[in-house]
Structure 1
Amino acid sequence: MGSIRRTVAVLSGTVFFVMLGISIINPAVPQYGLSFGATEFMAGALVGALPAARVFLDLPAGSWGDRFGNVRMMRLGLAIIVVTSTVAVFAFDYWVLLAVRFAEGVGSAFYVTSSLATLARTIPPEMRGRYMGLYVNALLVGQIVGPVIGGAVVLAWGLRAPFAAYALLTGVGILFVTFGLEPSAVTDGGGRIDLKAVGRLLSDRSYILVNIGTMGAFFARAGLVSTVIPLFIALNWGASYEQATVMAGVLLTVNAVAALITQWPSGMLADRRGRKVPFVTSLVLAGLVAPFLFFAKDLPSAIPVIFAYGLVLGAHGPLASWTTDLTPPEIMGTSMGLYRTLGDVGFFLGPFVLSGVLYLTLDPLGHVTIAPFLVAAVWLVVAGVAMAFARDPVGERMRAARAAGAAALPATDDPKD
């Protein structure tokens, strides 16, 4: 138990610092792109460039983690993020920044996939919901603090400064991984993707349906929250790039606070009752709330809506726990790589699709219409409904245990006898 808690603590501390850095730059990325004269779609592409790289590397990263050790892959990924974020500080045009964002995705693929694989291998199935909930909560705390800090950093030092902060915080994460974790076990496999393992996972209908739901959640997170809302503020509220970054930072923080409130209880409920009810309900309700974000006219009117949106979307809990429930232990690294690949398809499509819809449906005054909010809403609802048809191993075990317990109860005598 002690080694489990230590591993969870180190990984949670690392993801806190990394997500703190990511959250510092998130409100600034679209505005940084616009400052180079980019269109709204091109600004959205900056958000989508990072997951675009991960789509191609998540799966190999999982296999390389199995072959070379997940701790080593985490250190390499974090080092790449430090270097690329430093280069972003000195970007002199849009295309350099786009290339840097893509390169950041390489480091992110190595780090995130290996981190999740380490977590999944360490925690027993019956404890995954709560311990992965701790990991996700650490991630969310970073998301809470980061956007507000990012806004302050931009006001003090400009749109480039958040990338310097990201590099420094990721460096702290390297120290955590280097000195806090034992070297992980490696396997003989040449670092190649295990195509048989991939085929085995993709032949499981439930595995695919659960990851469709994951894609939906990530689509909305990257496309609606990190891309559309910052652009919506700049174009519809008449804010400068710096002001839009600050206000977007406030809304991203409120969203993360709300998600933190429901994330941990959802993980506990998922462990006790099964994954399906909280996860499916969360995505469907988030889809119903999303269109109301469009009707916010200023920061005070947007805060309660984004808070409600964060509450319902946070209730999906740690999505990776359902995927790990469906994965044989011996191919966990490959599964986490595939999980990240499919999730990053959502992270990639969200910014590109929604910024494209936003750009094509601007009104004659250059204002954002409700169209991207409606597209996000439909995507979330469809993803949630798809998850409802997936097998839920934890829920099945809990129902079987309750049925066995009920059958074991002694029959009561009829009071009339």
Structure 2
Amino acid sequence: MKQLPRGLWVLLAANVVIALGYGLIAPALPIFASDFGVGVTAATVVVSAFAMMRLLFAPPTGRLVSLLGERRIYLTGLLIVALSTLACSFAQAYWQLLVFRAAGGIGSTMFSVSAMALLIRLAPPQIRGRASGYYSAGFLIGNLAGPLLGAALVDVLGLRLPFAVYAVALLIAAAVVAIAMPAVPPPAQTQPGAAAPLPAATFAEAIRWPEYRAILAANFAQGWASMGVRVAVVPLFVEQGLGRSGGWAGIVLACYAAGNIVAIMVSGRLSDRFGRRPVMIPGLTVAAASTLVLGWSPNVETVLVLTAVAGVGSGLFAPTHQAALGDLLAKRARGGSALAAYGMSSDMGTVAGPIAAGFVADRWGYGPSFVLTGCVVVLALILWLFARGDTTRAVTVTSNSATTSDDPTPRSR
């Protein structure tokens, strides 16, 4: 079995540290914001502001990756988020927390876009699904331990300390990458003797591919449901809707992460063997069904079960659409607007999800709020169903002679 290169292992290790810190503040952030005397919608805007800045800075980040390289942009992004997160721990008013958290979105899009570029560049095509699964698993391992530790810190030491700890975690991740990450070869040298790479894919070119549209929809749904509503609305539902403490919110988020890890352990290998679509469709189906009924949960025990099931669904489809993107872009020059748009699709969901779900929760309750979120996942499922086509049919790529298939998946025989 082909082994992962050293650079990918370094990236995976740093990803665990980053995710651990992100998980620390997940249960604290919306509750911290609400402590300034604002409503559900305003509290969720703090989460969306971070994603909004990621969204705005994604296009220039794609160009910066092309100009300066993945490694340099990755390190710069980590340092920016570390400083802005440390500032959040000293916020004395709602607007300060909003500004500091939004500033962190600039650095976040820098390290996330460059990390995806590194993953695409370094992962061998035969094990791209497995590499994407490990990448997602690293994030989820941190997200599993982070909320549990964050919940303990919140209950014992208050809402500010998790932000300071997250800043330290990011500095550790930056040090790991700076010391241990080897130089990333240019695209033309990724495989010795390979032809020069095709130009970086543009969004206008890639959006014509049905599989790329399905990938964007799945990433948008992931941003809306997992990165947005899960972080911004679920803790408020646990605290306000069910009358439980912030510590229980952390446990609920940890159950979601646990379900993710269970699925991620097998999803990458399954997609490498059988193709991306046979894994995407069940994953989206499970995630949609469990989310649609989440807001009607009568007690926290039901929420624990449903969030774990939703985590399983997300664990099936999230690393799989990452691998599908790699299938499409691996032979292209690094960066480009198609890669940036992929990151933007998740950020658009993270921006819109908490605001829309929070608005619905304020006016009609948490039940309709989670129904709305489930419908977004259903939309992504529909696009993957209609992206099927004939997997042996080639789709001509404009501006060059390269081709791809409706399910661009390497399969083992």
TM, length-normalised to structure 1: 0.87
**Partner residue, 2:214:** 209
Q: 1:53 to 1:186 in 2, by over 3 A?
A: farther
How far residue 110 of structure 1 moved from its aligned partner, in angstroms, is: 0.5
> Secondary structure at 2:61's aligned position in 1?
helix
Mapped partners of 1:177, 1:397: distance in 2:
30
- CA offset digits 1:85-144 (Å, max 9, x no partner): 111011010111111111111010000111110111011222110011111111110010
How far residue 373 of structure 1 moved from its aligned partner, in angstroms, is: 1.1
**Partner residue, 1:67:** 67
Paired residues for 1:28-177 under 5 Å: 28-177=28-177
**Partner residue, 2:13:** 13
- Is the CA contact 1:62–1:117 (under 8 Å) kept in the aligned structure 2? no
**Partner residue, 1:223:** 228
Mapped partners of 1:277, 1:97: distance in 2:
42
**Partner residue, 1:232:** 237
**Partner residue, 1:388:** 385
**Partner residue, 1:352:** 355
Q: 1:128 to 1:226 in 2, by over 3 A?
A: same
- Is the CA contact 2:47–2:354 (under 8 Å) kept in the aligned structure 1? yes
Mapped partners of 2:135, 2:311: distance in 1:
18
Mapped partners of 1:398, 1:159: distance in 2:
46
**Partner residue, 1:190:** none
AA in 2 matched with 1:166: Y
Q: More deviation in 218-227 or 35-44? A: 218-227
Mapped partners of 1:3, 1:118: distance in 2:
16
Q: More deviation in 265-274 or 314-323? A: 314-323
How far residue 11 of structure 1 moved from its aligned partner, in angstroms, is: 0.4
Q: 1:376 to 1:201 in 2, by over 3 A?
A: same
Mapped partners of 2:145, 2:201: distance in 1:
42
Q: 1:272 to 1:359 in 2, by over 3 A?
A: same
AA in 2 matched with 1:233: V
**Partner residue, 1:331:** 333
Mapped partners of 2:409, 2:212: distance in 1:
17
How far residue 325 of structure 1 moved from its aligned partner, in angstroms, is: 1.3
Mapped partners of 2:354, 2:171: distance in 1:
27
Mapped partners of 2:125, 2:2: distance in 1:
17
How far residue 398 of structure 1 moved from its aligned partner, in angstroms, is: 6.0
Mapped partners of 2:170, 2:223: distance in 1:
22
Structure number with higher helix proportion: 1
**Partner residue, 2:374:** 377
Q: 1:282 to 1:165 in 2, by over 3 A?
A: same
- Is the CA contact 2:58–2:344 (under 8 Å) kept in the aligned structure 1? yes
- Is the CA contact 2:285–2:378 (under 8 Å) kept in the aligned structure 1? yes
Q: 1:185 to 1:315 in 2, by over 3 A?
A: closer
How far residue 196 of structure 1 moved from its aligned partner, in angstroms, is: 7.2
How far residue 282 of structure 1 moved from its aligned partner, in angstroms, is: 1.1
Mapped partners of 1:172, 1:53: distance in 2:
24
Is 1:302 aligned to residue 294 of structure 2? no
- Is the CA contact 2:5–2:122 (under 8 Å) kept in the aligned structure 1? no
Mapped partners of 1:325, 1:56: distance in 2:
26
Q: More deviation in 275-284 or 164-173? A: 275-284
AA in 1 matched with 2:297: A
Gaps of 5+ in 1: 188-193, 362-367, 403-417
- Is the CA contact 2:324–2:409 (under 8 Å) kept in the aligned structure 1? no
- CA offset digits 1:244-278 (Å, max 9, x no partner): x2111001101111111011211111111110121
How far residue 63 of structure 1 moved from its aligned partner, in angstroms, is: 1.9
**Partner residue, 1:273:** 274
Paired residues for 1:353-368 under 5 Å: 353-361=356-364, 368=365
TM, length-normalised to structure 2: 0.88
Larger radius of gyration: 1
Mapped partners of 1:396, 1:300: distance in 2:
40
AA in 1 matched with 2:348: V
Gaps of 5+ in 2: 188-198, 392-404
- CA offset digits 1:148-198 (Å, max 9, x no partner): 1001111222111110010010011011110011344579xxxxxx99723
Mapped partners of 1:276, 1:312: distance in 2:
14
Mapped partners of 2:171, 2:311: distance in 1:
29
Q: 1:159 to 1:276 in 2, by over 3 A?
A: same
AA in 2 matched with 1:356: F
Mapped partners of 2:144, 2:200: distance in 1:
39
Mapped partners of 1:55, 1:396: distance in 2:
27
- Is the CA contact 1:255–1:309 (under 8 Å) kept in the aligned structure 2? yes
**Partner residue, 2:402:** none
